Amino acid sequence: MKNKKELKTKTQSQKVKPKTTESSALKIEKQAHKHTIKQVVIEAITANNVITNEELIATVKAQFPKSAFKDSHAAWYRSQARKGLLTGTPIEIPAQRQPKSGN
C-alpha cells in the first residue's frame, strides 16, 4: 500500500488545469471595454451637448448592459458637467425641460 504522501501528490497533479493563452486581439478588446460609466458619459456629452437623457441612457446601456443607469443619474452627470466637475472645465449644456402634463 502506498503511503499518504504519494497518494496526495498523485491526486493533486491530476487537478492541475492547463494554462490557456489569450490572443493579443482578445486582450486588446478587453482593454477597450475598460471604460467607466463616467468616461462614456463625458464622451457622449462632449460629442453632443444637446443629448437627451434617453440617448445618454442608451449610450451607457450599450457599453454596460447590466447597469442601473436611469434619468436621475443622467441629470446628475449633466449637472456635474455644467459645473466643470467632470472634466475640469464647464461644458455648455442647455437645460433639459420635462413637458408638464396637463391635468
pLDDT of residue 98: 64
Q: Rounded CA gap, 83 and 80, in Å? A: 5
pLDDT of residue 35: 82
What predicted TM-score, i.e. pTM, was given to this entire model?
0.59
Average pLDDT over all residues of the chain: 78
75 within some domain:
yes
9 within some domain:
no
Give the pLDDT confidence of 48-87 residue by residue, as tens digits. Answer: 988 999 999 999 999 999 999 999 999 999 999 999 998 8
Count of domains for the chain: 1
63 within some domain:
yes
2 within some domain:
no
More confidently predicted of 74 and 28: 74
43 within some domain:
yes
79 within some domain:
yes
pLDDT of residue 87: 85
CA angle 67/71/76 to nearest 5° reads 95
Closest to 47 (Cα-Cα) out of 99, 95, 87, 97: 87
CA 100 and chain centroid, separation: 33
Domain range holding 61?
35-92
